[in-house]
Amino acid sequence: MTVSATNKSALSQKIAGILALFIGVMSVFAGSKVLLEIDTKSYAVLFWLVSYNVIFGAISMITAYFIWKNKAIAKTLTLFVLTMHFLVFIYLKFMSVTTAQESVKAMIFRTSIWILIAVLSIVIPNYLNTKKTMK
């Protein structure tokens, strides 16, 4: 039994959608607990960063929906979220002196997951579609 390129592409996008939903829900849940002071941290909390994480968690959930439905806007949103996370990581790592290591590690995690989401939802489907059209 062989799996067609179309089915592989769809499976890749479904996995990406699940990852985007998971990281989005995680970000909204964890960030909201900090913003509502339900969860306190033993290190300095940058409230702009927590707010950013909640906002981008919500954007991630929206992006997950568009990835799942294979909508054209999914690519743009995926690259937007990935780029923003990468830029915030660069800022936290190299330009901010008040950032806790936990925040830097969390942004590395988010950026890494979004790289994986981009590969699964953009790179692999593009490769499979190119391969299919060459036959």
**Sequence spans of domains, the chain:** 7-128
What's the chain's average pLDDT? 92
Cα–Cα distance for residue pair 97/17, rounded to 1 Å: 35
Q: What is the pLDDT of residue 33?
A: 94
Q: What is the pLDDT of residue 2?
A: 61
Q: What is the pLDDT of residue 46?
A: 87
1 has pLDDT over 80: no
* Report field, pTM of the whole predicted structure over 0.95: no
127, 77, 55, 92 alpha-carbon torsion, rounded to 10°: 60
Structure tokens at 88: 């915030």
Q: What is the mean pLDDT of residues 73-78?
A: 98
